Amino acid sequence: LGSLGSNLPIAVALDPFGNPVVAESSVNRMAFYYPLMDSANSANYFPQLAPGMLASLFAYQNHGATAFGPGTAQANGTPLPYSLANMQVLVNGTAAPLLYASPSQINFQVPNSIPPGTPAEVDVVNPSTGQIYTSALFNIQASSPALFTSDSSGTGQVAAINAATNTVNSSKNPVQQGQYISLFGTGQGFIANAPADGTTPTGKVHTATKPFVSINLEV
């Protein structure tokens, strides 16, 4: 539990799922302790979240066990489900659409309505029993832009499609000068006219400001 200083506990107990519950004397409160987790941008794995972005949660290993539920499942299309493998992600109490859930990693969409600038409480829960697998506070940025990469590692060549041939861009299949490529990113931040969370747009959806794209530092 770390150093409590003057907040010496007057009682310590376990909830029905084995998580510590502490009654602290000097601050007159109940403190609940859950296993730790990390969060990251799903494209580059930087630890920054923004409204509407695709994000990942990673459970800390604890004596061979993991903080999330025992099952594994993946979304089969849109609209994305709000529960997978009996796991649900709540961001400030708002259920988040899920792309993938496993004992060690969950991929989800941060709800577009979460305001930036203040920490958001993220809970991973079992919707059937109400068990909280883990809970943490994460800062929400105005934006956290990143491009997905070809090997999903967050580094190396970005994932790109040569628009003229609708083929995957690579060193063996480069785009020709003057032609278009399509890139795939996330972390653009709040969009006023965005489609509902977990759904795909029916047409173009513009960000509030137009992004700059540079190639070899030429904007």
User: 181: closest CA among 201, 167, 200?
Assistant: 167
**What's the rounded mean pLDDT across residues 211-216?**
83
Q: Are the beta carbons of 86 and 126 closer than 8 angstroms?
A: yes
Q: Are the beta carbons of 187 and 50 closer than 8 angstroms?
A: yes
Question: What backbone phi and psi angles, to 5 degrees, belong to 176?
Answer: -85, 150
DSSP, res 116 = T
Mean pLDDT for all residues in the chain: 87
User: 39: closest CA among 152, 94, 128, 119?
Assistant: 119
DSSP, res 81 = P
- Assign 20 a pLDDT band (cuts: 50, 70, 90): low
pLDDT at residue 27, as a whole number: 63
Q: What is the pTM of this model?
A: 0.83
pLDDT higher than threshold 50 for residue 79: yes
| pLDDT tens-digit map of 121-150 | 999 999 999 888 999 999 999 999 999 999
pLDDT higher than threshold 90 for residue 61: no
- Assign 102 a pLDDT band (cuts: 50, 70, 90): very high
